[in-house]
Structure 1
Amino acid sequence: MAELERKLAPSNAATAQTAKTANPMPDIAAALPEVAESITDGERIAHVPDPKWEEGLGELLASTPARIGVWRCGTRPLTKEVLRFRCDHAAAIDSVYGTVDSSLLDEFGLFTVETRFGNTENYLKRPDMGRIVTDEGVERIRSRCAAKPQVQVVVSDGLSANAVEANLRDVYPSLMDSLQAYGLSAGTPFFVRGGRVAVMDPIGDILQPEVLVLLIGERPGLVTSQSMSAYMCYRPRRGTVESDRTVISNIHRGGTPPVEAGAYIGTVLKKMLEQRTSGVNLEL
């Protein structure tokens, strides 16, 4: 508070009156560029004045992206922290309600099928609809995909279109390179709009792959709206239980780097094929 008072205190009455006349809100105006910069640059600093254990607070900040040491102004959080919170919250909402740019899908030759989700509101209320591919989608998969592939790659927006936009250009080529390095062949990849994790199972029934990997947007949070997961399963079919799936989560620039994730996914798929299993029975 002493530092804040020092910054706010005018050097003399005349200076204070001049500043007030020129700009009735000088401190807010001066703070806005700093607030905007702090929101966009993802700074990790504690605003706690004179912490009793400064080193420990620094270590805590370095160990987690959680909101720690945000401090307050009176009884409310600092303005920059409130704005950062609102910015992150808006990004999460945009991810859920957003759509993946078709040009991105075209880059990788991904054709699109849809589930029976209908619209975003229904998708959120009826998760089961995101597990069923439409009849038109089923026919498109059968007509355009190679049957019984060794590895089937599927991409879906899930709960975060932003995750696909942010990570696909890195994780997908890395995955393909990893499969090639291990001598594994991939089927015809495609994109599922409005998919849930268990959409893997009906796709498995249709194409009967040895292993299937689903790159899907995770539920966005206030730390990031760009997190992707890779769900993998050996011979997925209807009735597959969740313990039969293997997952690599938190694929984003602040978590598992997408390039590294793509390479590791290939390693996991190879182990699945060697051990003929996945999920809790897979030894990594």
Structure 2
Amino acid sequence: MNKTDVMDPLDILKQYTPARIGVGRTGTRPLTKDFLSFRIDHAAAVDTVYGEVSKDLLKRLNLFSIDTCFETKERYLTRPDQGRILSDEGKAIIMERCIQRPQVQIVVSDGLSANAIEENMMDVYPALLDSMSAYGLKVGTPFFVRGGRVGCMDAIGEVLKPEAFVLLIGERPGLVCAHSLSAYMCYKPRKGTKESNRMVISNIHRRGTPPIEAAAHIGTVISQMLKQKTSGVNLVL
């Protein structure tokens, strides 16, 4: 084998990651093309944090909307705890419109990426409902939470008392992907639920965990939760 036939180790690494490794430089500065690519991806990450999920999408998914106590995007970013607390109006709405004590409660939230909902939900959500049906599981009344954090599962659990819970929420955007979705799952989430009791399927998007494949796996996990009556580190899959 000639020396020219041996691949550079850095080139091999670059085949397996979209991360910015081995980018070119001129002196102490990155190449213009690499610098502009960074600026574009950074702008996309900022836009999705401050973006809004369209009312048209929520209408197509037949999801009504409630708010947490986040008030503004700036407050949402600096006070994560406010995204875990439902507004009084939000509590009243779900008490009025939702099935109480459902077997499975599904909630969608923008979280830190509105684009994650816009890009993935039309694939994930119908497939998730199909997966629940295939396992013979009964879903309550799904809805959308604006300004939600993962811990809003517990606040909603206190109100609706579901047996199992699925939260589809936008992930913190990065410089590789600004539309990644996560699915958090928990058995009987209530106030004081430990993080070790939650489970998550992350990086749900077309270049990561395929949305339809993720939806099918969520159904498997939830069915096992209900059989074993537990979740998190205690669940055996």
Interval of TM-score (by shorter of Structure 1 and Structure 2): over 0.9
Which SS does the other structure have where 1:85 is aligned? helix
Mapped partners of 2:58, 2:6: distance in 1: 50
Q: What one-letter code is carried by the residue in structure 2 that aligns with 1:266? A: G
Name whichever structure is richer in helix by fraction.
1
Mapped partners of 1:73, 1:56: distance in 2: 22
Mapped partners of 2:71, 2:6: distance in 1: 53
The aligned residue for residue 80 of structure 1 is 33
Q: Which has the higher mean CA deviation after the structures are superposed, 204-213 or 65-74?
A: 65-74
Mapped partners of 2:140, 2:130: distance in 1: 14
The aligned residue for residue 275 of structure 1 is 228
Question: Scaled by the length of structure 1, what TM-score is found?
Answer: 0.80
Aligned alpha-carbon RMSD (Å): 1.5
Which structure is higher in RCO with an 8 Å CA cutoff and minimum separation 6? 2
The aligned residue for residue 65 of structure 2 is 112
Mapped partners of 1:66, 1:139: distance in 2: 45
- How does 1:234-253 map onto structure 2 within 5 Å? 234-253=187-206
The aligned residue for residue 266 of structure 1 is 219
Identity %: 63
The aligned residue for residue 210 of structure 1 is 163
The aligned residue for residue 90 of structure 1 is 43
Gaps spanning 5+ residues in structure 1: where?
A: 1-49
Q: 1:62 and 2:25 equivalent? A: no
Residue 75 of structure 1 and its aligned partner are, at CA, apart by 2.6
Which SS does the other structure have where 2:183 is aligned? strand
Q: 1:132 and 2:85 equivalent? A: yes
Question: Scaled by the length of structure 2, what TM-score is found?
Answer: 0.96
Q: 1:157 and 2:129 equivalent? A: no
Q: What one-letter code is carried by the residue in structure 2 that aligns with 1:70? A: V
Which SS does the other structure have where 1:214 is aligned? strand
Mapped partners of 1:190, 1:108: distance in 2: 9
- How does 1:135-146 map onto structure 2 within 5 Å? 135-146=88-99
Match of residue 197, structure 1, among 145, 150, 153? 150
Greater Rg over alpha carbons, structure: 1
Gaps spanning 5+ residues in structure 2: where?
A: none
Which SS does the other structure have where 1:54 is aligned? coil
